[in-house]
Structure 1
Amino acid sequence: MNNTANGSLPLILRLILPFTLAILLITVPVYANQDGDVDQQLVERIKAEVIQELRNSDWLQQEIDTGIQNYITTQRETRAKAQADARAEKERSANEKARNARSIEQGRDHIYGNPEASISLIEYSDFECPYCKRFHQTVKNLIDLFDGQVNWVYRHYPLSFHNPGAQKQAEAAECAYEQGGDEAFWRYTDAIYQRTQSGGKGFALDKLSPLAAEFSLDADVFQECLDSNRYSDRVKEDFEDGQQAGITGTPGNILINNLTGQVLAKSGSQPLEAFKQAIEGMLKQDGQSN
């Protein structure tokens, strides 16, 4: 390493040079002038020799390199810890908010799978959300994988920038439920997710009643239900409940252990494996396993 342009020594030299000079001055004979002062020329010569030796020494470069690497490692570790702490705090806060979700209620909520399952996955979803479209099949596969240990609770969360499409599709799913119960609700819901192109206008609103007719529902009765807006407040209740539970986007998911009360927030269209691991951990806490 070279000196800086203004002639100042690198930090490490400034630290070790006084000690080196002190040792040399003790061990090397020095001469005093008539006033008893140490010969300044000798001091300067020794200083120059020490500096030159340090410059030529591989040891100095190795020590500098080691110091730099130690500094970089420390900074990385500090940053990683800060990021981990921030994630942990974010998860803790999300889990705490998720406890505000309305209790699951048979007859009010749409439940796929065993109603008495130990674990419930509550999904706040938007029919026009492309991530919800992708996630829809993932949740079905997850429920089938756990064979009665997990159920799926579907709640509406139509995002404003996907309306009026997402809102009216949610109301349409409730109109399907009105005529055919949960079986009709799930068949209708599956069909919209399969056919929509997402984004707010992915499924034409004038196709909602014809879709109902495909499942042997009365299209005229269905259209009257849709035109009446009678499920508008029902959808709004789900949306507001999601907001209270900390949901800010879709799909917004909450895992609940119905036996222990443990709550985990799991936002976004995460892969099946992420939910599988979380659920297995929750089941272990109450002595169950898949």
Structure 2
Amino acid sequence: MAKTVKKSEPLASIDPLKNNMYVLLGVGLVIGFIIGHLYTQVTFLKKGAGGTAPTAAGTGQPGDQAAPEAPKKISIAKPDPAKDHWKGSKDARYVHVEYSDFECPFCKRYFDSMGQIEKAYGDKMAFVYRHFPLSFHPKAEPAARASECVASLGGASAFWKMHDEIFNAMPTMEVTQLGDLAQKSGVNKAAFQTCLDGGQFKDKVQAQLDEGTKAGIAATPTSVIYDMKTGETAVIEGALPFDSAKQIIDGLISKGS
């Protein structure tokens, strides 16, 4: 008797259209995640890097600049010549306190304009530098510590020389060049390198960053003009051109006169 051969059950058929839909959906999710991540990063950079946009700061004629917005209030620690990096008269009524990042391109732009502010106000205004190194600038934190090492070895004048050397060397400066800049600032290169390599002043730099963040600093450069007599302040956010910064400074001075 012949055996009956059973047909095997067919395998479940694969719908090509449905399969392609799943693939496209997966690709879409990945692309969406990447776009969202990039948007977050760009938004953070815009807020964190601070300053006026390259097309707005320091371009055109002074008459073309829009009037600065009314300065907001930021409650920073009172400037202290015994604790801060201080330049100018210790009896100055007004102190220009800059929260800055050595690698920030907007800070370099503002640095290039600072000479005008110093000349315009003379002994009426002193200057203080506080560290605010942004996490996405890898050279900023080592440069901040380097300036502190120089200050510890050579005093206030050496600090300000190093401050100028670093900004003048940016944006092409590498961390390996800090020793040479320290030597140009007047301190022993070997002693400086020992300080830098040992991680000294990490806590001080971090403390200034934390203090600035707590006070409301959100971008670099941010400068606070502090009236030592009344405690009143005015804020300069970003790399404003001299004429715009002067309007803000003069506004505070007119209140105290």
TM-score (norm 2): 0.70
**Structure 1 residue aligned with 2:221:** 251
Q: How far, CA to CA, are the matches of 1:253 and 1:215 in structure 2?
A: 25
Of 134-143 and 153-162, the range deviating more from structure 2: 134-143
Structure 1 position 260, deviation (Å): 1.9
Q: How far, CA to CA, are the matches of 2:248 and 2:135 in structure 1?
A: 31
Q: Deviations over 1:176-221 (max 9, x none)?
A: 1011111000001101101111xxxx32111111221223311110
Q: How far, CA to CA, are the matches of 1:216 and 1:263 in structure 2?
A: 35
**Structure 1 residue aligned with 2:158:** 184
Aligned residue identity for 1:115: K
RMSD of aligned alpha carbons? 1.5
Question: Which of the numbers 128, 143, 146 marks the counterpart of 1:172?
Answer: 146
Q: Deviations over 1:8-61 (max 9, x none)?
A: xxxxxxxxxxxxxxxxxxxxxxxxxxxxxxxxxxxxxxxxxxxxxxxxxxxxxx
Q: How far, CA to CA, are the matches of 2:117 and 2:83 in structure 1?
A: 23
Aligned ranges 1:143-222 → 2 under 5 Å: 143-163=118-138, 165-197=139-171, 202-222=172-192
Q: Check conservation: 1:119, 1:279, Cα contact below 8 A.
A: no
SS in 1 for 2:99: strand
Q: Does 1:102 align with 2:77?
A: yes
Question: Which of the numbers 217, 235, 246 marks the counterpart of 1:265?
Answer: 235
Question: Which of the numbers 204, 208, 220 marks the counterpart of 1:234?
Answer: 204
Q: Check conservation: 2:96, 2:127, Cα contact below 8 A.
A: yes
Aligned ranges 1:51-200 → 2 under 5 Å: 91=71, 94-95=72-73, 98-99=74-75, 101-163=76-138, 165-197=139-171
Structure 1 position 108, deviation (Å): 1.5
> Where does structure 1 lack aligned partners over 5 or more consecutive residues?
1-86
> Where does structure 2 lack aligned partners over 5 or more consecutive residues?
1-68
Q: Check conservation: 2:84, 2:128, Cα contact below 8 A.
A: yes
Aligned residue identity for 2:141: Q
Aligned-pair identity in percent equals 32
Q: How far, CA to CA, are the matches of 1:144 and 1:115 in structure 2?
A: 17
TM-score (norm 1): 0.62
Higher relative contact order (CA 8 A, sep 6+): 2
Q: Check conservation: 1:139, 1:152, Cα contact below 8 A.
A: no
Structure with greater Cα Rg:
1
Q: Check conservation: 2:86, 2:127, Cα contact below 8 A.
A: yes
SS in 2 for 1:160: coil
Counting matched residue pairs gives 189
Q: Check conservation: 2:154, 2:186, Cα contact below 8 A.
A: no
Aligned residue identity for 1:278: I
SS in 1 for 2:86: strand
SS in 1 for 2:136: helix
SS in 2 for 1:253: strand
Q: Deviations over 1:110-145 (max 9, x none)?
A: 112222211111110000000100101322320221
Q: How far, CA to CA, are the matches of 2:226 and 2:184 in structure 1?
A: 35
Q: Check conservation: 1:175, 1:226, Cα contact below 8 A.
A: yes
